[in-house]
Structure 1
Amino acid sequence: MLTNIYIDGFNLYYGRLKGQKGSKWLDPVELCRNLLPAGTRIQRVRYFTARITPRPDDPDGPARQDAYLRALETLPEVSIHYGRFSQTKTRMRLASPPVGGPNTVEVIKTEEKGTDVHIGAHMLLDAFRKDCDMAVLISNDSDLCEPLRMVKSELGLTIGILNPFAQPSHWLKKLQPAFIKPIRQGVVRASQLPASVPLGDGKVVTQPQEWV
């Protein structure tokens, strides 16, 4: 079955990769080959993300992300679609303020903008163009229920979900996809890119040491 994959990069990172050694240099094409049913033909992998900005506690984060994105660009099946990343200081209310202390605290708030809309738009456009027979989402975000429902019910494609989180969204389950599979850590570790990825012209990009 000809298949397109739609990856919510931040959802995948926070659901399965963050804090896991030997996991972040992930080859998403190999991951899908290891998880999808036999006979699946992967046509394209759409990877949705946003370029992050430095944090006081992690000034090198953007450089590590850039290395990874350059490695992804070498995979012929992969296209990268960018949203926007916002980092602001804001005051938020404390759930349990100390007696006699302040009720609020200033925090650094990071937000990624645009991914949901971009995933839904590309998924529907691909379905209208009959670009694939099956659409597979890598995310646990229930905001994507409506485009998934339309792809299945209105446009007649098979849908599947590879879930980065331990518990799949109740609303995603209600769509009755052909499958909902958890992305387990062992499969992630077995689906890593080579430590050095050739870029062409003798150049290579290497896995950040912090990710080894």
Structure 2
Amino acid sequence: MRTRVYIDGFNLYYGCLKGQPNKWLNVHALCCNLLPRNQIDRTRYFTAQVSSRPNDPDQATRQQTYFRALATVPEISIHLGHFLTHEVKMPDAAAWRAGNYLARTVIKTEEKGSDVNLATMLLVDAFDDLFDCAVIISNDSDLKGPIEQVRNRFGKTIGLLNPQRNVSQALRPLAHFIKPIRPGALANAQFAAGLTDAVGQFQKPASW
């Protein structure tokens, strides 16, 4: 079955990678291992470029190194959204519970564009009849609309590889099949510690 994979990078990261030892993940290999009968010709990875923070000055460098690793796999394409950082006023949680609604000014960072980019490419690829089966790695209920259209309007098979413990109740009825992403599958789909691209040799980030 002609298959394309659409990965919500932040949903994957916060669902099963953050704080775990398997971040050096070859996402295409992961999908091929979990779906050995499917012919996966494209794995689309949707994310946004992070900025280093005072408490983690190497964050952006690690991400760029990971992008280099993904780019060594011809079947993977990276689609970037962006971050918005701005000041907002929000109530202090402890004060709120005590009945004091005094707001504090905080820095809020929001990732923008990844879900819209994923939905757009999912629909465009379906319209162009580039797959028989679309596999989505996300548990975001905001994707219900485009997934519903791909299934009902274009007659495509929908699969979910779930990065979180529970499956979204909005997405569950739309899937022809659902598979969890377990730690063993992540461990079996890691890049080699050392890789080479057109620029030269590079290594897995030391903290990973």
What TM-score bracket applies, with the shorter chain setting the length?
over 0.9
Mapped pair 1:107 → 2:106: yes
Residue 203 of structure 2 corresponds to 206
SS of the residue 1:83 aligns to: strand
Preserved contact between residue 91 and residue 101 of structure 2 (Cα < 8 Å): no
1:67–1:156 CA distance, 2 compared to 1 (3 A):
same
How far apart, in 1, do the equivalents of 2:141 and 2:149 lie?
A: 14
Cα separation, 2, equivalents of 1:110 and 1:208: 24
The alignment partner of 1:192 has SS state of coil
Which residue pairs with 2:120 in the alignment? 121
Uncovered stretches (5+) of structure 1, i.e. residues with no partner: none
Displacement of 1:58 in angstroms is 0.8
Who is 1:142 aligned against?
141
Deviation of 1:101 after TM superposition, in Å, equals 7.8
For 1:182 and 1:144, how far apart are their aligned partners in 2? 18
Secondary structure of 1:15 counterpart: helix
The alpha-carbon deviation at position 120 of structure 1 amounts to 0.7
Whole-Å separation in 1 of the counterparts to 2:106 and 2:133: 42
TM-score, normalised to structure 1, is 0.92
Question: Shift of the alpha carbon at 1:100?
Answer: 10
* Identical-pair percentage: 48
- How many residues are treated as equivalent by the alignment? 207
Match runs of 1:20-99 below 5 Å: 20-21=20-21, 23-36=22-35, 38-97=36-95
CA–CA separation in structure 1 for the residues paired with 2:116 and 2:82: 12
Structure 2 unaligned regions, length at least 5: none
Aligned-pair distance for 1:86?
A: 1.9
Q: Matched residues in 2 for 1:152 and 1:99: separation? A: 48
1:105-164 deviation line (CA, Å, top 9, x unaligned): 443322110111111110011011110110000000010011101000000110100011
Any conservation in 1 of the 2:87–2:105 contact (CA below 8 Å)?
A: yes
Q: Among 179, 182, 189, which residue is 1:181 paired with?
A: 179
Name the SS for the 1:123 alignment partner.
helix
Rounded to whole Å, the distance in 1 between the matches of 2:103 and 2:55 is: 22
Instruction: Provide TM-score, normalisation by structure 2.
Output: 0.94
Looking at structure 2, the residues matched to 189 and 91 of structure 1 have their Cα atoms a distance apart, in angstroms, of: 41
Q: CA deviation at 1:189?
A: 1.2
| Offset at residue 174 of structure 1 (A) | 2.3
Is the 8 Å Cα contact of residues 53 and 87 (structure 1) preserved in structure 2?
no
Pair 1:193 & 2:191 matched? yes
The Cα of 1:196 is off from its aligned counterpart by: 1.0
Residue 10, structure 1, aligned to residue 10, structure 2: yes
What amino acid is aligned across from residue 165 of structure 2 in structure 1? A
Deviations 1:47-87 (A, max 9, x none): 01110111121111000000000110110100111101123
Classify 1:184/1:105 alpha carbon distance in 2 versus 1 (closer, same or farther; 3 Å): farther
SS of the residue aligned with 1:57? Answer: coil
* Superimposed CA distance per residue, residues 171-196 of structure 1 (whole angstroms, 9 cap, x where no aligned partner): 00122x11111111111111101111
